[in-house]
């Protein structure tokens, strides 16, 4: 059984959602036990005040460290994981929800006002989690979202044990469309393949429909799935990636093994497909196709390959890896790797191709 303690200023906020539908049944079955903790119970102020003006000025109020710390420490156990629901946290994903479902005890800290004193986060919080790139009036709703997402992965919570495994994101893409009776509704019919009972064809149709939906609404997931999945050939992936607006660069390399090692370790490229003499990788706005073969040096120097990196964070990672590789792994000479400025990296790969990486955003 997973135990959860919710620390907030408004315990009554949770009564309706936790006493309804699946979350209510999950508690009745003993799959999860949820405890409410009122942070105001841990203040010595006669008016039960838990917030104050921020140092340095600015709008809003900040929750004081003493009552919040006492509340966390009252709920914490040896194997507890303390999570602060915050827009500054890492995104809540299906993978994270599945991981949290394996914990014994979660302590969810719901912030209010402008947030909580940073010293509480530094001393008491194990992880910050966000449910999206937006700000809400408090952390109660994010805590409920996390509980609901996690509860779905607990044994016995859903009616069908495989339900959580077949939903959106579990295979890296969105879910497929679903239909029920009647067959015909307002001129629209259930696809015939779903009515014929051929389970292999149904599985193929569902995958294709889910992939099409993902390509349309979440091209980021679509691209990631193509680069990591094994359900289509290299040429099919190249074609699909091109439809995503990603250019293709084809390079002949002397050694596929050596080139892959370089691109993975120095540039951090992801390998989407690897065959004996072929590999498909991704970097920024391009997908890179490597074909092992004989290099022709008679054509003169290689052209400069210019690539835009998505953001400054990824650019910094590449710069760091490339700099380390110069000293530790590849022994690149100074003229081969130059940090010309904060937004440009130039280097040569093992086959002599000249790369110029530029950051799209500062």
Q: Which two tokens stand for residue 77?
A: 């156990």
Contacts of residue 169, defined as CB under 8 A and 6 or more positions apart, other chains included, come to 93, 94, 95, 221
Contacts of residue 328, defined as CB under 8 A and 6 or more positions apart, other chains included, come to none
Contacts of residue 247, defined as CB under 8 A and 6 or more positions apart, other chains included, come to 285, 286, 287
> Is 87 one of the annotated active-site residues of the chain?
yes
The catalytic residue among 114, 258, 292, 314 is 114
Report the C-alpha gap between 351 and 252 in whole angstroms: 9
Report the helix count and the strand count for the chain, using DSSP H and E. 12, 17
Give the DSSP per-residue string, 322-345. Answer: HHHHHHTTS---TTTSEEEETTEE
> Is 152 one of the annotated active-site residues of the chain?
yes
User: To 10 degrees, what angle do helices 21-28 and 140-151 make?
Assistant: 60
The catalytic residue among 3, 17, 54, 87 is 87
Report the C-alpha gap between 231 and 225 in whole angstroms: 10
Report the C-alpha gap between 172 and 137 in whole angstroms: 31
The catalytic residue among 103, 167, 292, 308 is 167
> Is 114 one of the annotated active-site residues of the chain?
yes
Report the C-alpha gap between 212 and 4 in whole angstroms: 38
Classify 348 as helix, strand or coil: strand
> Is 65 one of the annotated active-site residues of the chain?
no
The catalytic residue among 51, 117, 152, 273 is 152
User: Could you list the active site residues?
Assistant: 87, 114, 152, 167
């Amino acid at each position: 059984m997973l135990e959860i303690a919710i620390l907030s200023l408004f315990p009554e906020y949770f009564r309706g959602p936790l006493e309804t539908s699946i979350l209510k049944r999950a508690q009745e079955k003993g799959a999860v036990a949820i405890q409410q903790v009122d942070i105001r119970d841990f203040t010595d102020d006669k008016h039960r005040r838990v917030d104050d003006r921020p140092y340095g000025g600015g709008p809003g109020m900040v929750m004081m460290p003493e009552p919040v710390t006492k509340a966390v420490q009252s709920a914490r156990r040896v194997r507890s994981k303390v999570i602060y629901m915050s827009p500054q946290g890492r995104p809540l994903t299906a993978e994270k929800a599945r991981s949290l479902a394996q914990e014994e005890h979660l302590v969810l800290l719901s912030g209010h006002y402008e947030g909580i004193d940073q010293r509480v986060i530094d001393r008491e919080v194990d992880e910050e989690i966000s449910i999206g790139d937006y700000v809400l009036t408090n952390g109660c709703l994010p805590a409920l979202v996390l509980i609901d997402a996690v509860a779905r992965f607990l044994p016995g919570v859903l009616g069908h044990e495989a339900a959580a495994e077949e939903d959106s994101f579990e295979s890296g893409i969105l879910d497929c469309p679903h239909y029920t009776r009647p067959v015909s509704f307002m001129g629209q019919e259930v696809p015939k393949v779903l009515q014929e009972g051929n389970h292999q064809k149904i599985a193929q149709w569902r995958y294709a429909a889910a992939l099409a939906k993902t390509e349309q609404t979440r091209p980021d997931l679509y691209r990631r799935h193509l680069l990591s999945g094994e359900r289509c050939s290299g040429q099919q992936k190249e074609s699909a990636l091109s439809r995503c607006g990603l250019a293709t660069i084809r390079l002949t390399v002397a050694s596929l093994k050596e080139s892959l090692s370089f691109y993975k370790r120095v540039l951090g490229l992801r390998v989407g497909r690897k065959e004996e003499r072929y590999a498909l990788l991704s970097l920024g706005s391009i997908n890179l196709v490597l074909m092992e073969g004989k290099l022709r040096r008679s054509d003169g120097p290689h052209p400069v390959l210019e690539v835009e990196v998505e953001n400054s964070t990824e650019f910094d990672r590449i710069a760091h890896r490339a700099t380390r590789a110069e000293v530790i792994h590849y022994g690149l000479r100074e003229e081969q790797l130059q940090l010309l400025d904060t937004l440009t990296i130039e280097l040569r790969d093992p086959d002599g191709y000249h790369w110029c990486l530029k950051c799209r955003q500062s």
